[in-house]
Amino acid sequence: MDPHKYRPSSAFNTSFWTTNSGAPVWNNNSSLTVGSRGPILLEDYHLVEKLANFDRERIPERVVHARGASAKGFFEVTHDISQLTCADFLRAPGVQTPVIVRFSTVIHERGSPETLRDPRGFAVKFYTREGNFDLVGNNFPVFFVRDGMKFPDMVHALKPNPKSHIQENWRIVDFFSHHPESLHMFTFLFDDIGIPQDYRHMEGSGVNTYTLINKAGKVHYVKFHWKPTCGVKNLLEEEAIRVGGSNHSHATQDLYDSIAAGNYPEWKLFIQIIDPDHEDKFDFDPLDVTKTWPEDILPLMPVGRLVLNRNIDNFFAENEQLAFCPSIVVPGVFYSDDKLLQTRIFSYSDTQRHRLGPNYLQLPPNAPKCAHHNNHHEGFMNFMHRDEEINYFPSRYDPVRHAERYPIPTAMLTGKREKTIIEKENNFKQPGERYRSWTPDRQERFICRWVDALSDPRMRSAASGFHTGLRPTNLWVRN
């Protein structure tokens, strides 16, 4: 073994305790003291190292998606879509790509029950031959706001009151009463599907609009959808109380136990596509994340299947240090001008650099599994072994070159530099259609959840005096 090439890992464990530097530890039970009852000595390096490492075991909690569970498996192409994209991992039916998937709740804290009414995250990291592709989504196909400028305020409203640290409905309703675009999202969140039974019986959606580009450079807008083969199942309020009261980690345990028993969760991947030349034909903006694309006009196209057949080896390493960023794409997949996606491109990677450090992509679950080369080096927690002398480009001493060119969307852009909103807001049509498609009992449960949210005493006092600037809150049940 080359001692300069490999770092300690479980593959090189000794049969006895050592310090982090490898020195043998002959007593891991007692501190070094002056006599049997004397004071502890600062020179007990093993004690100091052990306590110092323990003090630093926790890393910053994710601001959102703090509570999560992960599993590994593969994605297999089942249908040929090579006419739409030059992405290598989608090149032909039968191609398999290793993946790691993280499911999560969005708003609540790391130790919160998994039975709370909350959107669920559904993030998939594809380890392709051309680098990683992070498809970061939720279990609902729409989102609360369409512009990332509103995202920090939205999260603050959904989080606990900073004074009392209690999550309160009046704060949530107050904020969203000013944003009728969020009504469509609430027809999912306050619907019966607002509390999934577990992660295996949950749909997933990329939410944002991406683009697919083929070898000829033709671009299509695309939305991604995951459909569980075992069906969608949810918990109503009474069931959620019972399940959460007996096991606050029920969804994590269900995922782990199912895989351990060989009952591998599986999802089918579907896409919807729109030719950008036709985007003006709809009564909504296809890049608006508060809208769904009607399946009767834009049918779901099958692409492949996702199978989770391996549990993670270590929760901290492969769940807490697992990092997803919508900015991480591969040739053949690119961004669109979706306003929320554009802000997520910056925000997610910036979050990971803060939470895990500038070299978070060197951590095993985040690192690409293909060969890679650049001149990014040094910085906090850099553990990549490098022995080259050239760390600049170009150089006659380094044969590295540009990769083969691949197509990205091109478009002529004109317009004034201004802060503005999407023109085709159309905030109420889709939520109204969704509400009217339900059975009466499902409509009644939806309304009851709104009544409960609007019954907060602070909301009643605000509604009695419009000098507060609040708009009437009955817009939420408008059809």
The pLDDT tens digits of the residues spanning 13-50 come to: 778 888 888 889 999 999 999 998 889 999 999 999 88
Strand-pairing partners, residue 125, are 100, 134
Domain count, the chain: 3
25 with 87, same domain?
A: no
Question: Of the residues 337, 362, 387, which one is the last residue of a structural domain?
Answer: 362
Residue 146 included in any domain:
yes
Choose the catalytic residue: 138, 139, 208, 366: 138
- CA 176 to each of CA 200, 270, 285, 342: distance values in angstroms, whole numbers, following the listed order: 30, 31, 21, 22
Q: Is 65 a catalytic residue?
A: yes
**Is residue 479 over pLDDT 80?**
no
Residues 450 and 305 in one domain: no
Same domain? 321 vs 234: yes
CATH number where 278 lies: 2.40.180.10
pLDDT at 477 over 90: no
Q: Name the active-site residue from 65, 179, 225, 250.
A: 65
N- to C-terminal Cα separation, the chain: 69
**Residue 49 and residue 96 share a domain:** no
User: Are 93 and 151 within one domain?
Assistant: yes
Q: What pLDDT, on the 0 to 100 scale, is given for residue 372?
A: 83
* Residue 403, in any domain of the structure: no
Q: What domain range includes position 20?
A: 1-30+41-57
DSSP per-residue letters across 28-88: SS---BSTTTSPBPTT-HHHHHHHHHHHT---PPPSSS-SEEEEEEEEEE-S--TTT---G
**Is residue 420 a part of any domain in this protein?**
no
Residues 46, 86, single domain; the answer is no
Given 308, 328, 362, which residue is the final one in a domain? 362
Q: Which two tokens stand for residue 63?
A: 């601001």
Active site residue 377: no
Q: 389-423: b or e for each residue (b if 16 or more CB lie within 10 Å)?
A: eeeeeeeeeeeeeeeeebbebeeeeeeeeeeeebe
Mean of the per-residue pLDDT values of the chain: 91
Same domain, 278 and 259: yes
Confidence of residue 401 (pLDDT cuts 50, 70, 90): confident
**Which of 196, 210, 213 lies closest to 271, judged by CA?**
210
50 plus 180 within the same structural domain: no
Residue 270 in domain: yes
Residue 389 placed within a domain: no
Does any domain span residue 202?
yes
Do the domain assignments include residue 90? yes
The dihedral of CA 413, 216, 137, 184: what is its sign? Answer: positive
Burial class of 14 by CB neighbour count within 10 A (0 to 12, 13 to 18, 19+): exposed
Q: Is 144 domain-assigned?
A: yes
- Average of per-residue pLDDT across 2-7: 49
| Chain Cα centroid distance, residue 12 | 34
- Identify the domain boundary among 342, 362, 382: 362
159 token code pair: 């989080």
| pLDDT-derived band at 462, boundaries 50, 70, 90 | low
Interior angle at CA 159, CA 158 and CA 160, nearest 5: 125
pTM for this structure? 0.91
Name 250's Cβ contacts closer than 8 Å, sequence gap at least 6.
114, 115, 198, 243, 244
State the pLDDT at residue 123: 98
Do 50 and 89 lie in one domain? The reply is: no
Residues 19 and 139 reside in one and the same domain: no
In 117-198, which ranges are continuous DSSP H helix? 151-158, 169-176, 183-189
Same domain, 83 and 53: no
Q: What is the CA radius of gyration of the chain?
A: 25
Q: At what angle do helices 151-158 and 339-356 cross, to 10 degrees?
A: 70
